Structure formats: C-alpha cells, structure tokens
Structure 1
Amino acid sequence: MKQNYEEKFITNIENTNYASLSTGHQVFFKTIAFQYQFSFQELKQLIDFTIDFKMWNEKDIVEIFKNEYANRKMAFNHIRDVWNELKSKPNTYDTFDKSSYSDKRKITFEKIEKETLSLGACPVASPNTRCCNLMTLDSVESCGFDCSYCSIQSFYNQNKVAFDVNFAQKLKNLKLDPNETYHIGTGQSSDSLMWGNKEGILDALFDFARSNPNVILEFKTKSNNISYFLENEVPSNIICTWSLNTPVIIENEEHLTAKLHQRIGAARKLADKGVLVGFHFHPIVQYENYLEDYKEVYETLINTFDSKEVVLVSMGTLTFIKPVIQKLRSRDFKSKILQMSFVDANGKASYDLKAKKEMFKSAYDSFKAWHKDVY
C-alpha cells in the first residue's frame, strides 16, 4: 500500500535533526512540508540550513522563507542559495552575539580501569597525509574546555572526565626501544595542563620522562595552569606547547580557555625556567581581516621569545569529520565555525587548497626570523 505524505513525513523526520529544532520551528517545518511536499533529502537539508542560520547568528528561516513559491524546487533552491551565499562570503564576528552561551559547565570526574595504555599513532596519520610521526598518549579522557571545532566532543561525553586509576603503573611497565627516539604528545584526548596533577597524572608523566630520556614528551595546552611546572624540576626532554589563536577566535569559538595573553605569559614563565616551548596555530580560521589578526600574534611571539627558546611552530586549519558536524548541529549555541565553503580533504571537510596556501604562506613568511632555529 502506498504511503501518503503524512506517513512518510512521520517516518522520515526521525532520520533528520528535526528533534534539535525549537517547538516553533518544528511547527513551521511541518506546515511547509505538507504545503510543498518536500522530499526526504530536501527536508533533511532544509532542517540543517535552519540550524546553521541560527548557529551563525543570521536571519531566521521564518524570515527568509517567502510567503509563496511557484513550486517545491523553487522553495528549496531559494533557501539553499541563501545558505551557500552565507558560506561563500568572509565571516565577520563584528556583530556576533554569543550571549546565549553559558560559561558554566557541570563536570563530573570518574576513575576507570582501562585494559591497556592508550598509546598509539597520531589519528590523522595515513598514506595520504604528511605525518610528523607524533605518538599520542591519552592520560585523561575528555576536556573541560569547549572549543566549537574540537573533535573530542564527538568521541566522549563532554561533561564527564575520566582518569585511568592504573595510568602510572602502565607507564612504568611500558617498554620502549632505547635506540629509538619517540615524540609523544599528551594533548589529544584532553588538554595536557588544565587538570594540573589531578590523580597524579603529572607525577606519572614526569617520572616517565625521567626514565625514558629518548622520549620527547610534549604537553599541549590552551590553559595557563603551569603551577606544577614552576614548583618542580622539569626533565629536559619535556616540552610545553600552546595552541594559539587570534583574540577574535578565542573569544567566540574557544570557550572557557585562557586568553591569548595568559597563554603567552605562561609560556614566557616556563621559558624563563629553561623549558623549551612551542606554538601550534591549529586551526587557522578565515574571517574578515584574519591574516592581519594572525600576523599580530606572530609578531608578538617573535618579540617575546628568542628563537633558541622555541622548539617548534606548527600550522593547521579546520577539518571536520561528519560526527563533529552532526554534534555541532545538535547543540543549541552560537558559532560561525561551520560557516565556510567545504571541500573534501582526504575524507574530511576543509577549506580549499587556495585558502590553505594563503593562510600557511602568510604564517610561514611571518616567522622568517625563526626559520634557521625553529622546527
């Protein structure tokens, strides 16, 4: 028996982000769906467009949708054209209103017993990528910061942070080839420093570094929580790196993290203690006048640090896997991070090659004074 449209709507709507819409938008969509008999794919995309308009702080779908269209295709194409136009033009945060974002999170901590030590290759390593051979060590699962673009939100429960009760013992039992040099980073599944020495994780990692001088152990952070490093002798094979961005992106997209001057100030204090520091510009984000804003950050670093104090500077940009995009659309918050034209980049969504060349060339050229000394 052939389904009527109402039955199809009820069946298909469960496979969209309809549940993430407000009650008012749900009523609106039901009305226009029955009026124009949108296909499942059209309805699915229109719902995503609606969520994006709200997330980007743009006009509401109800304002954009005309009172009448000649047919279904014209209605769908009009909304899609508006969506594409917003994605294709440079973002601006000048009038961006993120006042609805709550800076209070209820985080619960739990102790877990993992079967094995979470040590492995960098998750982006593949035959199609240039890899720096970084290995990642998960000392904590989930992060207390709330960066809109972060992939961690699609892997873990954001409000629950887990510590492996046997982490220290597993590190002691780890056998590495003494003739090999390893670069191991701890900032993949959580921020490396924001939790301090909770559950003894920094004690365990410092002991591991002392016992394995052939390991370069990297702590990557967006925090300024360096008290443990200031109060203790830091093994010479430990490096501390900061993920940096412009004040515009930190303010609007890197929620709950330390301000730019706080991160740079923390790095300066550790450099004064003799700890090698580094900086990651990942992601570099396009928006109006973004190149000038990033250049100011680059110049600040060059004026604040001697190149001999800096071990590395890395660059990267936005790349999204589908679960992260889906997670972003399921949240009720403001962000312009998805307001960009996507192209496929090794199975992920990212900027096109022209945009990447522009941002990376600007960054590389800006650090010309450090080219001889910094990796």
Structure 2
Amino acid sequence: MRTIKDIHYLVYPEEEKSNTIVDRFLSSAIDNRIAYHNEEELNSIINELQINNIDSKDVILLKPFFGRFYQVCPGSPYMICCRYRVINTCFNCLYNCSYCYMHVYLNNYGIVQFTNTERLFAELRDFIKNCLQSMVYRIGTGEFTDSLMFDEITGIGSELIQFFSKYNNIFFELKTKSANIDHLLDIPSKGNTVIAWSLSTPHNIAYYEHNTARLDERIHAAVKAIDAGYYVAFHFDPIILYHGWENDYYNVIKLLQEKIDPEKVVWISMGGFRYHLHFREILRDKFPEEMMTVYEMFPGIDGKYRYFKPLRIQIYNFMYQQLHEIFKKAYIYLCMEADYMWQEITGKDFHSSEELEQDISNHLNYHFLQKNTIFY
C-alpha cells in the first residue's frame, strides 16, 4: 500500500508556512520541498516538474481552495441517486485505480491538498443551521480523493469527526481503499461517524486498484474500526466482471460475514462498471493491459456505457440477495441506476432522487440513530 512516505515532492505557499496543514506537511519526511509565492510561480514550478517527468502522483501541492467545500453530489442525469453530501478537502489521490473517473474529470497536476479549512467549517456550520431537523443526512469526504490516504498528516478526519459528533442527524463518512485508521481509533467523541471501504475481489484489486491496501488489510482495518466504536460501510463500486467473478465476489461477501459484526454496518452500495465513451480511450492509453472494456457495453440515458441490462440485473440480484441475507440492518442501495432497476432488484418504486434520500434517512433513523447526542 502506498503511503505519504512514498511522496518525494512537496510544493507549498511560502506565505502560509504558519498554516496548520502546511506546517504538518513541512514536519513530514517528504524530501524535496519547493516554496512558491504566487500563482505564476506555482505554474512555473509545475511546468518544471513535468519537464523532468515527475509523476503527478509523486507531488503534493498545498494551496487554498476557492470553490465550494460543501455540495450535494450531482449524481447522474435521469438516474435515481442518493443525494449524498460531499465535502471537498483534496483533489486527486495517492493511489492509481485504472477505472477512476478522476483520470477524466480532474486535469490538475499533483495531489492538491486544500489549506484553508476554516472556510470549510464555516460552510458546514451554514449547512447545519439550515438543515431539516427531521432529516438524517449522510456527508463525507471521499468523492474526489481518498479520505484517509494521509489523514494522519492533515488531521482533517479527526477534526470533522469531532465536529459532527454533536449532531445526531448527521452520519459522517470517511471512505478509503487504505488501512490507515490507527490515528482515529482513540478519538473519544465519534458520534455517528462511519468509516467505509471500497471493496472488490482480490483479482480486481491486483489488476485495477494499484498501490491500495489488499482486501484482507481493508477488512482487518474495518474490524479495528468497529472495535474502536465506529460504524462501518462498504462500497462494491465498480463491480467489474471477468471469468469467475461470481465465485470471487461470493467469497468476499463470505469473508465479510466471517469477520464483520453486521450490527455495525450502516449501508452498502453497489454499482456496475460504467464510463463515458471518451474515458475508454484515455483508459486504454494509460492502462493498455486493462480488460475492463472488453465486455460489450451499451449507452444509457445518461450517456454512460454500462453492462447490458439483463446482465446488470443478474449482477445486482446476486449481490443484493447475498448481502441482504447477512447484513439485515444495512441500507443496501444502487449507485447511478434508473428507477426500473431499483424496482427490479429491491422492489422499491422511487420516482425521484429525493424519495431515495428520504428512504435512507428513515432507515438510518429507525435502525441506528443514537440517543445520546442532540439534533441541531
């Protein structure tokens, strides 16, 4: 598993050396540190690193963020989506998953870690001030990065856990492909924090999730999280097919059954491999050995290519039945699928993403809501 120790370049704003996050990175063991004073100088440094063939994932860029720290996940057009709340703390990732949509959507160089987190917490306070008291919200940091890849340096995870622990109607999620959780185990006020792992088969992890933790390492970390008092969640997304996929995914689920306390699993997502057409060419150019796109894929109403509908029904039925039998309290949901697929797999007849969001809220409220904290 790749860690912060494998990073060789740190680019930071000279005028922000006293910033907490900048100071934490300067105290790390990164060898090469390059200061910049303005955006023009930063661009010149990036250009020089690129000329010298320094890989983008070998560089951490520290800079303030001027976009939205907090937003509702936009989902996919014409699909039933869960209206997850996204916190942006970083763009890009230590790891190098072949299927990652950031190969297309993020064109910045380096792993960009945001430094102005005081504005992040201001936006979160505004959200809490205006949120519905009767609604249970899910919010997390793992949309455009890995939540925990070097969280022991930034300290953001710990700060957010303690911030959200006061609010009973918020389930805060940290999503990762790492096993980097030891720095979070002794936090006293955990609230409704959920530590979540993206899961796949050992075959897919080896072929497509480069430099991430092994399956057994992720599950062992989940056991440690549960023992420390956290909820956990799992994301089977993307589900990638190959000869023998069904048996291998079955074995992953059985391993979860063997190791994980089902009472502590709050939700599980499932999503088939999907991509925009132009992503396929980028993928094949960057990872010429990949076999994900050899399956026949068909365009959906949102423009993304997916496995043929009968095959997706087979995939989801298999996964849903196995998971639901074991994790009866967990909310099991589909990612970026249309209403007909929800009806076919779960029997639920959603007409909008808002209906799905409300159903998840009702489920969490009924099965998991703690009584020792307060609504805002």
1:146-161 matches, within 5 Å, as 146-157=96-107, 160-161=110-111
Q: 1:234 to 1:207 in 2, by over 3 A?
A: closer
Looking at structure 1, the residues matched to 136 and 123 of structure 2 have their Cα atoms a distance apart, in angstroms, of: 18
TM-score calculated relative to the size of structure 1 = 0.68
* Conserved? CA contact 2:273–2:306, under 8 Å: yes
Deviation at 1:129, TM superposition (A): 1.2
Deviation at 1:172, TM superposition (A): 3.5
* Conserved? CA contact 2:186–2:228, under 8 Å: no
The secondary structure found in structure 2 opposite 1:338 is helix
2:203 paired residue number: 248
Deviation at 1:306, TM superposition (A): 2.4
2:116 paired residue number: 166
Identity of aligned residues (%): 29
Deviation at 1:136, TM superposition (A): 1.3
1:265-284 matches, within 5 Å, as 265-284=220-239
2:61 paired residue number: 110
User: How large is the Cα RMSD of the aligned pairs?
Assistant: 2.0
* Conserved? CA contact 1:172–1:208, under 8 Å: no
1:301 paired residue number: 256
Looking at structure 2, the residues matched to 275 and 195 of structure 1 have their Cα atoms a distance apart, in angstroms, of: 19
2:240 paired residue number: 285
Deviation at 1:161, TM superposition (A): 0.8
The secondary structure found in structure 1 opposite 2:61 is strand
State the one-letter code of the partner of 1:120.
Q
2:281 paired residue number: 326
* Conserved? CA contact 1:168–1:204, under 8 Å: no
The secondary structure found in structure 2 opposite 1:356 is helix
TM-score calculated relative to the size of structure 2 = 0.67
Deviation at 1:173, TM superposition (A): 4.5
Larger Rg: 1
* Conserved? CA contact 2:74–2:83, under 8 Å: no
Q: Of 355, 358, 371, which aligns to 2:311? A: 355
* Conserved? CA contact 1:247–1:259, under 8 Å: yes
* Conserved? CA contact 1:117–1:171, under 8 Å: no
1:88-99 matches, within 5 Å, as none
Instruction: Please say which of residues 229-238 and 267-276 is displaced more in the overlay.
Output: 229-238
Q: Of 321, 346, 351, which aligns to 1:365? A: 321
Deviation at 1:125, TM superposition (A): 4.3
1:1-375 matches, within 5 Å, as 106-126=57-77, 128-157=78-107, 160-174=110-124, 175-176=126-127, 177-178=130-131, 179=133, 180-331=135-286, 333-345=288-300, 346-370=302-326, 372-375=328-331
Aligned residues: 271
Deviation at 1:327, TM superposition (A): 2.0
Q: 1:234 to 1:147 in 2, by over 3 A?
A: farther
Deviation at 1:117, TM superposition (A): 3.1
